[in-house]
């Protein structure tokens, strides 16, 4: 990046994000959406299932934005899969979305991950993105709430 006269800036790469830096970006996007379209602020959510020692067994994270629930991460510890934890987490995320007046939900999954799981709880393929390593595909899914 070339510095202009009387300006001092640099490009910084972070593998582990600095929360204060991320908050600036998040707030900037929210402020622009509110100013330009009168949109509600993007709101994150995090839901965890923990054991008695507070170890995370499963969890879901994401945001509600502009009438949409977006589930960014859903994970269940391998030894706890098949017990309904994923379904429970998605149901809780969808409840949050309905409280926040979302009309639809989106999630994506790779071809080796959880496509059949999401389809079993009412998500439908909206489109497929190809071109990933090892001929992998990403499925973008959607569900009406």
6 pLDDT exceeds 80? no
Q: 């996007």: which residue's tokens?
A: 29
Right CATH for 41-144 from 1.10.10.60, 3.90.550.10, 3.10.310.40, 3.40.630.30: 3.40.630.30
pLDDT per position as a tens digit, 88-127: 999 999 999 999 999 999 999 999 999 999 999 999 999 9
Indicate whether 5 pLDDT > 80.
no
Q: Which two tokens mark 129? A: 């993105």
The two tokens of residue 94 are: 């969808």
Q: What is the rounded average pLDDT for all residues in the chain?
A: 94
Helix locations, 9-135, DSSP H: 19-37, 85-99, 115-120
Q: What's the whole-model pTM score?
A: 0.86
**Per-residue pLDDT band at 2 (split at 50, 70, 90):** low
pLDDT the model gives residue 4: 56
Q: What percent of the chain has pLDDT over 70?
A: 96
Residue 46 CA to residue 24 CA, distance in Å, equals 20
Whose CA is closest to 65, among 99, 92, 31, 97?
A: 97
pLDDT at 24 over 80: yes
CA angle 128, 133, 136 (to 5 degrees): 35
Question: Which residues, listed in sequence order, are joined to residue 73 by a DSSP beta bridge?
Answer: 61
The domain limits of the chain are 41-144
Q: Among residues 55, 41, 46, 139, which one has the least CA distance to residue 93? A: 46
């Amino acid at each position: 990046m070339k510095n202009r006269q009387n300006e001092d800036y640099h490009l910084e790469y972070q593998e582990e994000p600095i929360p204060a830096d991320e908050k600036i970006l998040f707030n900037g996007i929210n402020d622009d959406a509110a100013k330009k379209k009168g949109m509600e602020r993007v709101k994150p959510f995090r839901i965890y299932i923990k054991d008695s020692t507070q170890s995370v067994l499963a969890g879901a994270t994401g945001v509600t934005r502009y009438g949409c629930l977006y589930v960014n991460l859903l994970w269940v510890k391998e030894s706890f899969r098949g017990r309904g934890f994923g379904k429970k987490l998605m149901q809780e995320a969808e409840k949050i979305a309905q409280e926040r007046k979302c009309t639809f939900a989106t999630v994506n999954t790779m071809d080796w991950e959880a496509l059949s799981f999401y389809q079993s709880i009412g998500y439908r393929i909206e489109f497929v993105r190809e071109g990933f390593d090892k001929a992998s595909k990403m499925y973008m899914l959607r569900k009406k709430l």
